[in-house]
Structure 1
Amino acid sequence: MEYEESGAPSGRPGAPGAPEASEASRAPIDGRTTDGRTGGRSDRGAGGRSRVRATTVVIAVAAVLGTAVGTAVGYTVQAGREPAPLPALSAPGLAYPPKPLPGAVSRPPLKAAEDRRVTTEGDLPRLLLPKPGKTAGRGALMIRDGWLPPVRYAERFGDPQHVFTGLLHNGVRRIAHRAWIDSGGRFVEVSLLQFREHLGATAYTSGFREDLNELNDGHPLRGTGDGKYYVMGPGDWADGHSASAVGYVGDIAVHIEVESESPVPAAFIRDLAERQLERL
């Protein structure tokens, strides 16, 4: 036996006196045997996963088919039934109270002449004050009677854009207008402004009064809650003498302007305004 310098056996394979290697020590570490077969592995895991996927598909298909068949059967059963009658769309009478309450008073409906809505929703220019007997011809006024567009109405003021915006903001619906020159040479304009709600007429009247109150306090008008009339001198509101009246009834505001070379009597503008308010 050969010895190393240390005197111990060399242990090299094939060397005389070295022990033979065992089968386990000769097996490759990757788990394969010398004949190429895997050692210790099995194909059972792949086959199990395939069976699980197949079972899941079968259950899903069964659920879809069950839902479809159930829906079809339900529709078939419902179609074979007699249709249920629908309740009446209107009842023949009120269910409550079964009898009139004690002391209840039934009022007859208003007549057309008594219903203010019938009057104001009709031909609005017909509610304007009529012209007096002696007036200037229409050609001398450059303004036609009847309907007046809001933009034309706003052009009569010093700030047309502000007035026009205020009219639209307050919900103006329509404006009826009439103008004439009376025998005394006074130029009279009467405008009826109808708004979508009475709040619009209230807001318009309040804004107009605030502007005129800067000139003088004015005088209250009969026939309206907060209507007033004003008499101004030269330069207050116009170049010459002038007078104004403003008020409202319901959703209609009244605006009257008078211009003259001579002073305008307070009784003149007050009479115009009160007569116009009475027609509403």
Structure 2
Amino acid sequence: MPEEPGISEVPEVVPVPARRRRRGRTTLLIAAAAVLGLGAGTCAGFLIQADREPTKLPSLSQPVLTQAKGEGPEPLSAAQDRQVKTDGDLRKLLLSKPKGAKDPESGVEGWLTMADYADQLLRSDEMFSDLAGAEFRRAVATGWDVGSAYSVEIRLVQYRQEESLAAMDRTGNWEVDDTNSWPIPGTGYGMAYVTDEPETEPGYLPLYSAEAHAWRGDIAMEIWIYDTKPIPKAKIMDLAERQMERL
């Protein structure tokens, strides 16, 4: 068996250099033609542009608008300017008593101070503090009785609204249980409520109620109807829509 050759006896392998691929003549001709074509196109473009007349730039000055003659539009009337209405006498914005109606037995009419208004709400002491924080400005009330059982109360409450939209916030704070409810058209968040069951107390006739709450601008509207008979939806909705139209 022949012996393995030693390291010194292993023949040396000499690497064969790879043959460089030569570019053909055709490739060089195409490259040269591309360079010449690019240069010729650029020169032709400059020559064409040089022969053309320069494009006129638009004027930087704007045409002068002539002032319309006359004294300008007439100011809005008090009926059209809502701010004039709401900063004036709020009592004029209340619905008028219908024909045949009597003054309310409660005697709540005209202007209400913050204490007067709070006194008509549940938890009057707590509500007085809440009204002060809500920037109460002023309030007005009206109402009427028809016959011996049917009565209506309406209040408009105005807020300063320097820190928050108090009229909207106060309208959304009413909680009415055990009622049917409907949105008042054209008021956004306004709602009308009619009780399903009357309030009963020994010695008194059953008492049904309906109410409506809505707001516009800085004024919140509140309406109550009371009767010994069920109150139809149409009655409270009619009052609410007509009162909101006046705001």
For the aligned pair, the TM-score class normalised by the smaller chain equals 0.5 to 0.7
Q: Rg: which structure is higher?
A: 1
Equivalent residue letter for 1:272? L
Distance 1:142 1:216 in 2: 25
Q: Is 2:125 aligned against 1:161?
A: yes
- Counterparts in 2 of 1:228 and 1:100: CA distance versus 1, 3 Å: farther
With the length of structure 2 as denominator, give the TM-score of the two structures. 0.63
Residue 266 of structure 1 aligns with which residue? Answer: 233
Q: How many residues align?
A: 173
Q: 1:203 pairs with 169, 172, 186, which one?
A: 169
Equivalent residue letter for 1:207? N
**Unaligned residue ranges in structure 2 (runs of 5+):** 1-63, 67-71, 201-205
Residue 256 of structure 1 aligns with which residue? Answer: 223
Using the TM superposition, give the Cα deviation of residue 125 of structure 1 relative to its aligned residue in structure 2, in angstroms. Answer: 0.5
Equivalent residue letter for 1:110? L
Q: 1:231 pairs with 170, 194, 210, which one?
A: 194
Residue 185 of structure 1 aligns with which residue? Answer: 149
Matched-pair contact (CA < 8 Å) for 2:114–2:131: yes
Q: Is 2:209 aligned against 1:242?
A: yes
Instruction: Describe the SS at the equivalent of 1:218.
Output: strand
Matched-pair contact (CA < 8 Å) for 1:223–1:278: no
Instruction: Give percent identity, aligned residues only.
Output: 37
With the length of structure 1 as denominator, give the TM-score of the two structures. 0.56
Matched-pair contact (CA < 8 Å) for 1:132–1:182: no
Q: 1:134 pairs with 100, 104, 108, which one?
A: 100
Equivalent residue letter for 1:114? Q
Instruction: Describe the SS at the equivalent of 1:242.
Output: strand
Instruction: Describe the SS at the equivalent of 1:111.
Output: coil
Distance 1:170 1:100 in 2: 49
Instruction: Describe the SS at the equivalent of 2:165.
Output: helix
Matched-pair contact (CA < 8 Å) for 2:180–2:194: no
Using the TM superposition, give the Cα deviation of residue 204 of structure 1 relative to its aligned residue in structure 2, in angstroms. Answer: 0.6
- Bigger drift between 224-233 and 148-157 goes to 148-157
- The C-alpha deviation readout for 1:183-229, integer Å capped at 9, x for no partner, is 47311100000110270101110112xx12x4346100013110000
Q: 1:120 pairs with 86, 104, 113, which one?
A: 86
Q: 1:151 pairs with 115, 121, 124, which one?
A: 115
- The C-alpha deviation readout for 1:26-51, integer Å capped at 9, x for no partner, is xxxxxxxxxxxxxxxxxxxxxxxxxx
Q: Is 2:240 aligned against 1:277?
A: no
Equivalent residue letter for 2:198? P
Using the TM superposition, give the Cα deviation of residue 109 of structure 1 relative to its aligned residue in structure 2, in angstroms. Answer: 3.4
Q: How does 1:27-66 map to 2 (within 5 A)?
A: none
Q: Which has the higher contact order (CA 8 A, sep 6+)?
A: 2
Runs of 4+ residues over 3 Å off in structure 1: 106-109, 214-217
Distance 1:142 1:219 in 2: 28
Question: CA-atom RMSD, angstroms?
Answer: 2.6
Matched-pair contact (CA < 8 Å) for 1:187–1:258: yes
Instruction: Give 1 or 2: higher strand fraction.
Output: 2
Distance 2:179 2:106 in 1: 31
Distance 2:152 2:210 in 1: 10
Matched-pair contact (CA < 8 Å) for 1:219–1:229: yes
**Unaligned residue ranges in structure 1 (runs of 5+):** 1-98
Using the TM superposition, give the Cα deviation of residue 144 of structure 1 relative to its aligned residue in structure 2, in angstroms. Answer: 4.2
Q: How does 1:80-95 map to 2 (within 5 A)?
A: none
